[in-house]
Amino acid sequence: MPRIRVLPDDVANRIAAGEVVERPASIVKELIENSLDAGATKIAVDILEGGRRLIRVTDNGEGMLPEDAVTCLVRHATSKLYNSEDLFSIKTLGFRGEALPSIASVSRLTLETQAAEGIGTAIEVAGGQIVAQREGAFPQGTQITVEELFYNVPARRKFLRSESYELSQVTSYCTHYALAFPEIQFLLKSGSFEVLSTPAVSDFRERIFQVFGSDLLDELVEHQREFGRLGLKIHVFTSRPHVQKYNRHSMFFFVNRRLVRDKIIMHAVGEAYRNMLPSGTYPVAILFVTVPFDDVDVNVHPAKTEVRFKHQGFIHDSIRDTIVTALTSDKTIVAMQATTNSGSPYGLPSPQPRVPDSWAGDDPILNAPFTLQSPPVVLEGQPRHLELSFGQLSEASPQPAPTYADFDRVKLEVRPLGQLRDSFIVATDLTGLILIDQHVAHERVLFENYLRQKLAGMLEVQRLLMPIVVALPPRQLVILENIVPELAHNGFEVEPFGPKTVAIKTAPAILKAGAVEKLLRELLDGLERETQVMNIDALKRKIAASVSCHAAIKINTPLDETRMRWLVGELMKTDVPTVCPHGRPIILRYDLREIERAFKRA
């Protein structure tokens, strides 16, 4: 008996589905690509329960004749490719003839289609088998409805994440294609909630405005360059260096208007911003690369988001140089402040900080406006700024190594001596020298107080003089929708304000008004980056940590002795004085014995 067999089609389709249909978002991507290939000018996407229950894509494209409507569900059936030569100059988004049969094999799929001439067709498929077919008259175009995704593949169903996560992925693809095709009208709805709506416009700028609003558009530099020799064109909208994102979700790359995730392009963008952005932060970049169709291989992966360039190095350098030229020729670029991160993330002038009038706590650091403080107290016989340098010890002597403090010991009696660079409190206790990072120390104090006050239902809330209006990208709007109730528990009253903007009306009293917008943006950036479904407890702590971080005194802030004493005392009262809510160390200690040994007195 021979042991090798050719797999039946239904098995082959399910295997292909493993690569093409990862989650609802990948289905939306394939269906949108089909609609674009069919010449549609209007594409509507409807989602229920993050796509688990229903995904529907409706277009007004060329539609299909009855015979084609049946064939399109067959594996490797495509109208976009006729011979293997065509494979090297693909002008359409699809070409593998795999998407529809793959999707149909793992869901209940309904196809309704109507070409300009001839009769319309409706076909129902369940788990890859046609279960019903009828003729009818439909509006011109195609509507594909995918229900009960993975109903017949429970193992895959388990990998689906929360509704909001899946929806945010769907939103990401829709946003991508909306950016790349300004001439096409897109509408994305989750139930009755309109996530994205972009009527047709004439150029990319207008589309970016529709999707992200004017705040972001104002921060982007546009630049276009042609590299005649290889027929390469690069068109970029890239952010000024003071725009700093904490994840890569604001980078959108297209090659011949196909969305790609490409390491070479990513690297080129990174190079362009090297020394301009702090590490771990990313720009906003919307980048269109146009290359001759035969200079790029799109048949690298079934999901078609990876490409291989014939002239890879040249493309890399051209992208980098285009962005650098864009940034350096932009006269409005503000001087970079290397470490201070003040103001709004878009570098817009932030509203005048306002000391909350409702603050009733006894926190002298929050109460005192630092810019107007009394002259610093000079401690007896001590220079106010201690310049500590262990580096000048003779080479033979071992340098005392700072160790993370061990708390029972530090709690004994800590006496602040002064500040190092207005950022670190230098203190002693009975057994050594202690350095305290004032920002994270205060953050820890506020964090624990905040959680306590919240638990006791005593959180103080301030009504902002003017609501703060914030424009958010569609993905973040979706995330925000989900956390509105928890934000409200934390004193943030956030309401929809326009199609893509929200208004913040109240905030916790410990925050200055100027910090509120930045906090919300960082929080959403962080949540967007989160890959695990977040439980409510983690979310609570995250919000508390952000609030504390934004309310805490900054580094480079002089503190007088009273304030240092207060801060150190409060820190020692906290449950965990050693690490800040984000996990950074708060205290370093130099043990007396180490110091003696270093001075060769031991």
- Give the interface with ligand ADP as residue ranges (CB under 6 A): 30, 34-35, 38, 59, 61-64, 72, 77-80, 94-100, 142
Give the shortest CB-287-to-ligand ADP separation in angstroms: 25
Give the shortest CB-93-to-Mg ion separation in angstroms: 7
Most distant CA atoms of the chain, gap in Å: 99
Question: Would you give the end-to-end CA distance of the chain in angstroms?
Answer: 84
Q: Which residue is nearest to ligand ADP (CB)?
A: 94
34 vs 210 by CB, closer to Mg ion: 34
Helix, strand, coil fractions of the chain, as percent rounded to 5: 35, 25, 40
95 vs 253 by CB, closer to ligand ADP: 95
Residue whose pair of structure tokens reads 């000079």 in the numeric block: 378
Q: Which of 26, 34, 190, 419 binds Mg ion (CB under 5 A)?
A: 34
Give the shortest CB-242-to-ligand ADP separation in angstroms: 42
78 vs 490 by CB, closer to Mg ion: 78
- Phi-psi category of residue 437: left, alpha or beta, with phi > 0 → left and psi -120 to 50 → alpha: beta
Give the shortest CB-123-to-ligand ADP separation in angstroms: 12
Give the shortest CB-175-to-ligand ADP separation in angstroms: 20
| Residue span 38-77 as binding mask against Mg ion, x where in contact by CB under 5 A, dash where not | ----------------------------------------
43 vs 523 by CB, closer to ligand ADP: 43
| Under 8 Å between Cβ of 38 and 63 | yes
List alpha helices for 359-498, DSSP H.
364-367, 407-410, 438-455, 474-489
Q: Which of 99, 502, 524, 559 binds Mg ion (CB under 5 A)?
A: 99
Choosing among Mg ion, ligand ADP, none, which partner's interface includes residue 429 (Cβ < 5 to 8 Å by kind)?
none
d(CA 128, CA 19): 16
Backbone angles phi and psi of 103, in degrees to 5:
-60, -45
Strand partners for 436:
425, 587
Could you say whether residue 94 binds Mg ion (CB under 5 A)? yes
Burial (CB < 10 A; 0-12, 13-18, 19+), residue 222, is: middle
Give the shortest CB-241-to-Mg ion separation in angstroms: 39
Tell me the window of 33-41, 212-220, 301-309, 428-436 that interacts with Mg ion (CB under 5 A). Answer: 33-41
38 vs 516 by CB, closer to ligand ADP: 38
Tell me the window of 30-38, 192-200, 336-344, 525-533 that interacts with Mg ion (CB under 5 A). Answer: 30-38
Burial (CB < 10 A; 0-12, 13-18, 19+), residue 131, is: exposed
Residue 174 makes CB contacts below 8 A (sequence gap 6+) with 28, 32, 45, 186, 188, 195, 196, 474
Choosing among ligand ADP, Mg ion, none, which partner's interface includes residue 65 (Cβ < 5 to 8 Å by kind)?
none
Give the shortest CB-108-to-ligand ADP separation in angstroms: 17
Choosing among ligand ADP, Mg ion, none, which partner's interface includes residue 96 (Cβ < 5 to 8 Å by kind)?
ligand ADP
97 vs 400 by CB, closer to ligand ADP: 97
Give the shortest CB-340-to-ligand ADP separation in angstroms: 50
Choosing among ligand ADP, Mg ion, none, which partner's interface includes residue 385 (Cβ < 5 to 8 Å by kind)?
none
Give the shortest CB-258-to-ligand ADP separation in angstroms: 12
| Under 8 Å between Cβ of 66 and 119 | yes
35 vs 190 by CB, closer to ligand ADP: 35
Smallest Cα–Cα separation from 59: which of 33, 81, 21, 93? 33
34 vs 318 by CB, closer to Mg ion: 34
Binding residues for Mg ion, rule CB under 5 A, total 3
Choosing among ligand ADP, Mg ion, none, which partner's interface includes residue 120 (Cβ < 5 to 8 Å by kind)?
none
3-state secondary structure of 102: helix
d(CA 474, CA 472): 6
Q: Which residue is nearest to Mg ion (CB)?
A: 94
98 vs 262 by CB, closer to ligand ADP: 98
Strands 185-190 and 193-198, bridge-based pairing: antiparallel
Q: Exposure string (b/e) for 89-121, b if CB count within 10 Å is 16 or more?
A: ebebbbbbbbbbbbbbbbbbbbbbbbbeeeebb
Choosing among ligand ADP, Mg ion, none, which partner's interface includes residue 62 (Cβ < 5 to 8 Å by kind)?
ligand ADP
**320-to-218, 278, 285 alpha-carbon distances in Å:** 22, 18, 12
Residues binding Mg ion (CB under 5 A): 34, 94, 99
